[in-house]
Amino acid sequence: MLVDVSDIKKKRGSSKNIQRSVMLEAFDYKGKKISFDKNLNLNLTLLNTGEYIHAEGKVNAVLEVNCDRCLKHFKMPFSFDIDENFSESPNENDVLPIKNDKIDLKRAIMNSLLLNLPIKFICNEACRGLCPYCGKNLNEEECKCDVDDTDPRFAALKKLFNDKDE
């Protein structure tokens, strides 16, 4: 997803607006697979700050992920801001390259997306997850297991599992 910046590269203060609808491929994130349900819509302003070409704007996406509580596959609308710098001599870590007068917006999108992703994906705040004993999805059916959440040993164990999860 290359964008030509030769038109704004010469003069400090030059800018242009980019509006696009793009499809990105699925990727792995901390052992989870994340895909995109449809095109991402991006609305960006590219500005020549003198030092950098600065990309700033907003991306609207719909992610397809698995719920961390019940494992169900679900669609999650997700919007995030883009705030990235590009340079022909990207010396600093967080500066992306300009090559042959072009910048790769995909890298800017992925950088910002990864910074903004939540730690956990939950299909619904009220999701009851899976029974820790029999594995049934408690959103769909009750099980007969006698789960005593007030048992401190169980709570400690549960906390351990949750911490390991992060």
Give contact residues for Zn ion (rule: CB under 5 A): 67, 69-70, 123, 127, 131, 133-134, 143, 145
CB count within 10 Å of CB 11 equals: 10
Cβ 157 to Zn ion shortest distance, Å: 16
CB nearer to Zn ion: give 117 or 127: 127
CB count within 10 Å of CB 23 equals: 9
Cβ 23 to Zn ion shortest distance, Å: 26
CB nearer to Zn ion: give 102 or 136: 136
CB nearer to Zn ion: give 99 or 128: 128
Could you give the residue ranges of the DSSP H alpha helices within 49-126? 105-116
Q: Hey, what are 96's tokens?
A: 């992306």
Q: Are 41 and 26 in contact (CB under 8 A)?
A: no
Cβ 140 to Zn ion shortest distance, Å: 10
Strand pairing category for 2-4 and 32-36: unpaired
CB nearer to Zn ion: give 52 or 121: 121
